Amino acid sequence: MISSVKYTPSSLNTSTFSCRKFPVQKPQLSTLPIIQNVKKNTYLNLLSSSNQKPLYLACTNTFIKPRSRNNLTECKAYEADRSRSLDINIDVSDENSTQKFKIGLYFATWWALNVVFNIYNKKVLNAFPYPWLTSTLSLAAGSLIMLISWATRVAEVPKVNFDFLKALFPVAVAHTIGHVAATVSMSKVAVSFTHIIKSGEPAFSVLVSRFFLGEAFPMPVYLSLLPIIGGCALSALTELNFNMIGFMGAMISNLAFVFRNIFSKKGMKGMSVSGMNYYACLSILSLLILTPFAIAVEGPKLWAAGWQTAVSQIGPNFVWWVVAQSVFYHLYNQVSYMSLDQISPLTFSIGNTMKRISVIVTSILIFHTPLKPVNALGAAIAILGTFLYSQVIHLN
Ligand code: 3PG
């Protein structure tokens, strides 16, 4: 997979990259500085630059004509995760050990933060069943953290303009719907069940792309949907504490996140902000969108009464649970968006699948979620399908 090679111009020039099956001589490995966010021009520059310089290549099986930006974004399903990565991402095949370590660290942090968020989110929702407010607080915490970071110059202030905000708006609407729907789901069913259904997001991705955007996929992609859909269906049918709102919330979240990724891919092309700032702007816009709806659906009266009940049951610690779920929501998302600056969509989607496994297993253990073996089998099949999907979609 790793292909850092030195080349000699006599044996290799840009035209030699035109055949996919080009027989590659054993590359002479060299240590390269990590090249991140390699864009088309950088890539071409490297090809045409001094012949003494090492050449950055994607990988030997993409030893073809230099990949254009279009080719980089060619993956047609708006993957379960963040299709924005398809726009900003890179070839990561020259990951050296430092880069691998860094990615490992990102993943470990992302999963850990996500697990902690899910645990505290559920604890809060059990005591205080107002998902619209908790969703709003998650976005508010993130917005506050980022505004402070910008004000104190801890983070670089993004240069955004009206066009950026206009393009971000539909992404934020979809993000808001997906976030609230997932939280509503988790207020009604076990965390594990929400995440099992959320592992079905690739199926939504392919079906929406197929039926709304008219995009076709190779047969392996459709086949990978069978275990995903079958596994989710088996799990839903055998779920001991099935609840229709909980189920529909997770399904709506899947659909909304697919549209978020489509809007993100279509609207944000060519715009450049870091992953961290992109997510910060998304949070702030989503907060502005969500707040009036949260007030309309639940409202301060219910919140005040619910808060008093929760504090009387849990004690003063309840406040810290709310803080934890809000802050960890922002942190895990921020890390996941930051990791997009470092890794390929494939690596990301595999990471996201593994993340779901961590959340499902941890939440079952912590909340002692009752589980029938057939239910667990459904979850395992669905997750396996997601993993297969993440493999075949990137071959597309
Ligand atoms: C949310 O509240 O936005 C969801 O829990 C997000 O879930 P995901 O990041 O695991 O898709």
**Taking the model in full, what pTM does it have?**
0.76
Q: What is the pLDDT of residue 266?
A: 76
Smallest CA separation from ligand 1 atom 1, residue: 179
User: How many C-beta atoms lie closer than 10 Å to residue 86's C-beta?
Assistant: 23
Residue 336 Cβ contacting ligand 1 at under 6 Å = no
Q: What is the pLDDT of residue 272?
A: 76
Residue 294 Cβ contacting ligand 1 at under 6 Å = no
Q: Measuring CA to CA, which residue among 110, 8, 59, 9 is closest to residue 337?
A: 110
Residue 183 Cβ contacting ligand 1 at under 6 Å = yes
What CA–CA distance (Å, rounded) separates 99 from 34? 7
Best of 133, 134, 179 to mutate for ligand 1, by most ligand atoms within 8 A of CB?
179
- Report how far Cα 239 is from the mean position of its chain's Cα atoms: 26
Residue 182 Cβ contacting ligand 1 at under 6 Å = yes
Beta strands 4-5; 55-56: pairing state = antiparallel
What CA–CA distance (Å, rounded) separates 298 from 119? 23
Rounded distance from Cα 179 to ligand 1 centre (Å)? 6
Q: What is the pLDDT of residue 244?
A: 97
Measured in residues, the chain has a length of 396
Query: Domain spans of the chain?
Result: 1-72, 97-393
Q: Which of ligand 1's atoms lies nearest the C-alpha of 336?
A: 9
Q: Which of ligand 1's atoms lies nearest the C-alpha of 178?
A: 3
Q: Measuring CA to CA, which residue among 256, 286, 70 is closest to residue 165?
A: 286
pLDDT of the chain, 396 residues: tens digit per residue: 333 333 333 333 333 333 333 333 433 333 333 333 333 333 333 333 333 323 223 333 333 334 343 444 333 343 344 544 434 343 445 557 888 788 888 889 999 999 999 999 999 999 999 999 999 999 999 999 999 999 999 999 998 889 999 999 999 999 999 999 999 999 999 999 999 999 998 899 889 889 988 888 899 999 999 999 999 999 999 998 899 999 999 999 999 999 998 888 776 767 778 888 999 999 999 999 999 999 999 999 999 999 999 999 999 999 999 999 999 999 999 998 888 777 776 677 778 888 999 999 999 999 999 989 999 999 999 999 998 998 888 775
Rounded distance from Cα 254 to ligand 1 centre (Å)? 9
Type of residue at 226? L
What CA–CA distance (Å, rounded) separates 327 from 140? 9
Residue 198 Cβ contacting ligand 1 at under 6 Å = yes
What CA–CA distance (Å, rounded) separates 178 from 320? 25
CB 215, CB 76: distance < 8 Å? yes
Smallest CA separation from ligand 1 atom 5, residue: 182
Q: What is the pLDDT of residue 396?
A: 59
Q: What is the pLDDT of residue 146?
A: 97
HEC per residue, the chain: CCCEECCCCCCCCHHHHCCCCCCCCCCCECCCCCCCCCCHHHHHHHHHCCCCCCEECCCHHHCCCCCCHHHHCCCCCCCCCCCHHHHHCCCCCCCCHHHHHHHHHHHHHHHHHHHHHHHHHHHHHHHCCCHHHHHHHHHHHHHHHHHHHHHCCCCCCCCCCHHHHHHHHHHHHHHHHHHHHHHHHHHHCCHHHHHHHHCCHHHHHHHHHHHCCCCCCCHHHHHHHHHHHHHHHHHHHCCCCCCHHHHHHHHHHHHHHHHHHHHHHHHCCCCCCCHHHHHHHHHHHHHHHHHHHHHHHCHHHHHHHHHHHHHHHHCCHHHHHHHHHHHHHHHHHHHHHHHCCCCCHHHHHHHHHHHHHHHHHHHHHHHCCCCCHHHHHHHHHHHHHHHHHHHHHCCC
